[in-house]
């Protein structure tokens, strides 16, 4: 069974600083996908970044980058130049492709990030 662990229930960062949100995972599948989502208080789950298990380079999307360390089974999210609008819950998730079609996202418990002035 797949498992995602986020050990930081809450994090604070000052505006314009960088912050790292931790995520470790456990799976026996050689092929897997890792995702980060942002969920503001409004409820919408916003896709941020994706890393495939066979990707040679760490994924980057604007101010978001994923520090992928396959041997350590970690996929930490780095947010550079934090903004007040980055305050939200952040979920790490792993994809399990289903034989019947579609996939199942297994989520970690989330990290609540607050950006301060």
Q: Quote the distance between the C-alpha of residue 31 and its chain's center.
A: 18
15-23, 68-76, 80-88, 101-109 -> range binding another protein (CB under 8 A): 101-109
Q: Where are the alpha helices (DSSP H) in the chain?
A: none
State the nearest-atom distance from the C-beta of 69 to another protein, in Å: 21
Q: Which residues contact 37 (CB under 8 A, 6 or more apart)?
A: 45, 46, 47, 48, 90, 91, 93, 107
Q: Which stretch binds another protein (CB under 8 A): 20-28, 64-72, 76-84, 105-113?
A: 105-113
> Tell me, what DSSP letter sits at residue 113?
E
Least spacing, CB of residue 89 vs another protein, in Å? 8
Q: Binding residue for another protein (CB under 8 A) from 44, 60, 70, 80?
A: 44
95 vs 42: CA distance, rounded Å: 24
Residues that bind another protein (CB under 8 A): 35, 37, 42-47, 50, 91, 95, 97-98, 100-105, 107-110
């Amino acid at each position: 069974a797949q498992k995602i662990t986020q050990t930081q229930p809450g994090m604070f960062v000052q505006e314009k600083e960088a912050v790292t949100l931790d995520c470790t995972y456990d799976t026996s599948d050689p092929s897997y996908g890792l995702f980060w989502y942002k969920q503001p208080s409004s409820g919408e789950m916003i896709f941020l970044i994706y890393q495939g298990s066979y990707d040679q380079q760490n994924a980057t999307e604007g101010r978001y980058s994923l520090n992928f360390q396959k041997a350590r089974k970690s996929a930490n999210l780095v947010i550079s130049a934090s903004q007040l609008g980055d305050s939200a819950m952040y979920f790490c998730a792993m994809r399990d492709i289903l034989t019947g079609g579609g996939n199942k996202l297994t989520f970690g418990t989330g990290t609540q990030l607050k950006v301060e002035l």
